[in-house]
């Protein structure tokens, strides 16, 4: 079981799926990732794809909704709490309940630390948030995340939408390939990495 990344983003409060303009793209508030299991020369591209996929999924997670996007042996779990969104990149063996328990805790801690200051943020933040780095390490064991659950009825009562592929969360007519080509999160090298991996049926496992 593996957590590759945890992110916190500011999303369009009205549900950014209603607009495809870049101005509505989610803003990165905090980002912690562990890409050491990738080859040395792939790590930069892996980090860029984490940001790209994180933005793509967060943008299409409406307020008060939880969803999981499946891709091969990985899932991207997303929880949008009224515009403040937490995402986790986990492998397929990490329990869904533990994943969303962790994301709920991340949002609680973020609001406890920063309050509503995130609402006025206009650009990605590169400042480290020690709690997120610690959480990425501590909660590699899902049993630790389950301890956070206590009695959170909303996790049981709120439907978690599971999408089989990332394409299923895109708007009609959108294609992942075109989003990759237009993304400002991905360097030319990362776009080439994506195309080459797709050709060999070894698509980047963080997607």
* Rounded (5°) CA angle 98-100-102: 70
CA distance 46 to 190: 8
CA distance 91 to 94: 6
CA distance 140 to 121: 30
Q: Supply the pLDDT for residue 194.
A: 67
Over the chain (207 residues), the average pLDDT of each successive run of 10 is 92 52 79 86 85 91 90 85 95 88 94 94 91 94 70 51 64 66 74 66 48
What does the block give as tokens for 185? 């999160």
Q: Which residues, 6 or more positions from 11, have their beta carbon under 8 angstroms from its beta carbon?
A: 26, 58, 59, 61, 63, 80, 83, 84, 85
Q: Supply the pLDDT for residue 97.
A: 86
Q: Supply the pLDDT for residue 149.
A: 56
Q: Supply the pLDDT for residue 18.
A: 40
Q: Supply the pLDDT for residue 204.
A: 47
CA distance 192 to 96: 32
Q: What is the pTM of this model?
A: 0.72
CA distance 149 to 147: 5
Q: Supply the pLDDT for residue 119.
A: 93
Sheet strands side by side (includes 65-71): 27-33, 3-10, 84-91, 74-81, 65-71, 160-163
């Amino acid at each position: 079981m593996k957590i590759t990344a945890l992110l916190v983003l500011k999303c369009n409060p009205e549900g950014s799926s209603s607009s495809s303009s870049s101005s509505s793209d989610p803003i990165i508030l905090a980002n912690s990732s562990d890409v050491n299991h990738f080859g040395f020369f792939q790590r930069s591209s892996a980090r860029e794809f984490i940001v790209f996929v994180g933005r793509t999924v967060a943008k299409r997670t409406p307020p008060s909704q939880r969803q999981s996007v499946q891709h091969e042996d990985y899932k991207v779990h997303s929880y949008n709490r009224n515009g403040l969104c937490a995402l986790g990149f986990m492998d397929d063996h990490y329990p869904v309940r533990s994943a969303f328990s962790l994301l709920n805790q991340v949002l609680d801690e973020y609001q406890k630390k920063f309050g509503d200051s995130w609402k006025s943020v206009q650009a990605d933040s590169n400042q480290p948030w020690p709690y997120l780095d610690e959480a990425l390490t501590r909660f590699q064991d899902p049993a630790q995340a389950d301890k956070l659950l206590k009695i959170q009825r909303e996790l049981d009562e709120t439907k978690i939408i599971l999408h089989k592929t990332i394409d299923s969360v895109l708007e009609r007519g959108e294609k992942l390939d075109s989003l990759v080509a237009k993304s400002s999160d991905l360097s030319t090298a990362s776009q080439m990495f994506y195309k080459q991996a797709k050709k060999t049926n070894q698509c980047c496992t963080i997607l």
